[in-house]
Amino acid sequence: MSRALIATVFATAVISLASSAFAAGPASLDDLLEQTKAVHQHEDQANAEREAIFQAQHDKQKALMAEAQAQLAAEKKRGAEMSAAFDGNEKKIGELQGQLEAHSGNLGELFGVVRQVSNDFSTVVRTSIISAQYPDREDFVTKLSQSKELPSTLDLERFWFELQREMTESGKVERFKTKVVSPGGAPVDATVVRVGSFSATTGGKYLAYMPNEKQLSIMARQPGARFESAAKNLEQAHTGYVKSVVDPTRGTLLTIYSLRPNLLERIQRGHEVGYIILTVGIIGAALAIYQLVYLVLVRTKVKSQLHNLASPRTDNPLGRVLATFQGDARRLEENAEVVELRISEAVLKEAPNLERFQSFLRLAIAAGPLLGLIGTVVGMIITFQSITESGSSDPKLMAAGISQAMIATVLGLGIAIPLLFANAWLTSMSRSIMQIIDEQSTGLLAGRLEGAQHA
C-alpha cells in the first residue's frame, strides 16, 4: 500500500472521529478540552501507526533494492564471463578455420571446380531427354551446383557416376516405360524408344522433353510421314541396324522441320489466285488425260487396221477413211478428183477428234504464268502494305505477302510446265495418227487408180 493511500485513509478516520466527537457537542469548556485531548490522542496514535507503516515499507523497498543490486552485479559478472567466452570462441574458430584451410589444401580448388562443372552439367541434365528416364538426377546435380559446403565423398562419387551415365546413355538406344503427355494434355502410359540424348518416339510419334514438368510430350505437329515411318521401323526393331532420325541439336532441328508447311498449307497461302490457277491446271490435266486415253485407244485400233486394209472397220479413223474407197474401180479413174476430195473430207472429219482440247491446253499453258504473275503482284502489295502499317521491315511481317507471291508464281509455273509436255505429247500422237491416215489413204488411192488404168 502506498504512502498517499495510507495518509488518505488516516485523514478520513480522523475527520470521521472528530465529526462524531463534535457532533455530540461539548456541554462545557471542560468537555471541550477533553474532546480536544481525545482528538489529539487519536491523531498521535494515527501518526504513529502511519510512521510505522512507512518505516516498514521503507525497509521492504531497501531490501528489494539490495536484492536488485545483487542481481545486477551477478548479471554483469555473467556478461563479462560470456563476453570472455565469446572472445575465446572467436579465437578458437579462427584457429580451427586456419587448421581447416591448412588441412584442406587443394580441396578448396576442387570444390570450385566441382561447383563450376556441376553448374554447367545441370543445364545439360535439365534439357536432356535422358532425364525423362532418370528424373531424380536433376535435383541432385542442381543441389550440388548451389551448395556452399565442401562436397562429401559420396556426393563426388555420385556426381562422377552421373557424368559417366550421361556419356554412356548418349550412345545407347533404350526402350523404357513412362508417362507421356498426349496432345490433349492428359498423361498416358507409353513405351518410349530413346536414341541417345537426341530423339525419342512412341507409337510412331516423336516426343519433346518438357524440363519444367520433367516429362515427355507428343509433339503437336509431327515432321511428316517419312520420319514417322522411320520411327515405327525403329520401334519394331529389336536387333541389328535400322535407319532412323537423329537430331544433333536434341530436338531443335526436328521442331523447326515439323513447322514447315505441307503441300496443302502452301496451296492455301496462295489464296484466291492460287485456287484459280489450280482450277485451270486440274481442268487441263483432266482433259489431257482423257484425250491421252482416247488417242492411245485410237492408235491401237489404227495399228490393228493396218494389218487388214482390205476390210475397213468403222471403229477407227483409218477404217472410216478407207471406207470411202468402196465402189466400182472404173469410176475411181473417171472421178479421181472427186474421190480425192472425198478422202480429204474424211480425213478432215477425223482431225477435230484427234486434235481435241489442244487449244485449251495451249491457253492454260500461256495463262498459268500470267496468273502466277498476278499472284506475285498481289503478294508484293500485301508486303508493302504491312511495311507501311507497321513502320518496320520485320521479316515476320513481310513473310505472309512474300509467301503468297512466291506460291502463286510456283503454282503458275507448276501447271504450265506439265501441261506443256502433255500438249506436246498429245500433239505428237495426233499427228502420228493423221500421218498414218494420210499415207494409207493416199497410197491406197494411188494403187486403186493404177489398178484401174491397167485394167
User: What integer pLDDT is reported at residue 10 of this predicted model?
Assistant: 45
User: Which grid cell is 242?
Assistant: 535400322
Q: Which helix (H) or strand (E) holds 213?
A: none
For residues 360 and 426, the answer to whether their CB atoms sit within 8 Å is no
What gap in Å lies between CA 177 and CA 401, rounded to an integer?
46
Q: Which amino acid is at 238?
A: H
Phi, psi of 308 (to 5 degrees): -145, 70
3 state SS of 203: coil
Torsion over CA of 211, 217, 218 and 221, rounded to 10 degrees? -40
Q: 362: how many CB neighbours lie within 10 A of its CB?
A: 15
Q: 448: how many CB neighbours lie within 10 A of its CB?
A: 17
Radius of gyration over every alpha carbon of the chain, rounded to an integer in angstroms? 57
User: What integer pLDDT is reported at residue 449 of this predicted model?
Assistant: 62
* Helix %, strand %, coil % of the chain (to 5): 75, 5, 20
Q: How many CA atoms lie within 13 A of 290 on its CB side?
A: 12
Q: 348: how many CB neighbours lie within 10 A of its CB?
A: 9
3 state SS of 192: strand
Mean pLDDT of successive 10-residue stretches along the chain, which has 455 residues: 46 48 61 80 84 83 86 89 90 84 66 83 87 86 82 86 89 88 86 88 87 85 83 84 81 78 72 84 92 90 82 80 63 59 78 85 89 83 75 67 79 90 91 84 69 54
For residues 188 and 196, the answer to whether their CB atoms sit within 8 Å is no
Q: 33: how many CB neighbours lie within 10 A of its CB?
A: 11
288, burial (CB in 10 Å: exposed 0-12, middle 13-18, buried 19+): buried
- Beta-sheet pairing, 215-218 with 173-181: parallel
3 state SS of 198: coil
User: Which grid cell is 259?
Assistant: 513447322
User: What integer pLDDT is reported at residue 421 of this predicted model?
Assistant: 93
DSSP notation for 60-129: HHHHHHHHHHHHHHHHHHHHHHHHHHHHHHHHHHHHHHHHHHHHHTTHHHHHHHHHHHHHHHHHHHHH-G
User: What integer pLDDT is reported at residue 11 of this predicted model?
Assistant: 47
What gap in Å lies between CA 261 and CA 226, rounded to an integer?
15
What gap in Å lies between CA 216 and CA 209, rounded to an integer?
5
User: What integer pLDDT is reported at residue 454 of this predicted model?
Assistant: 55
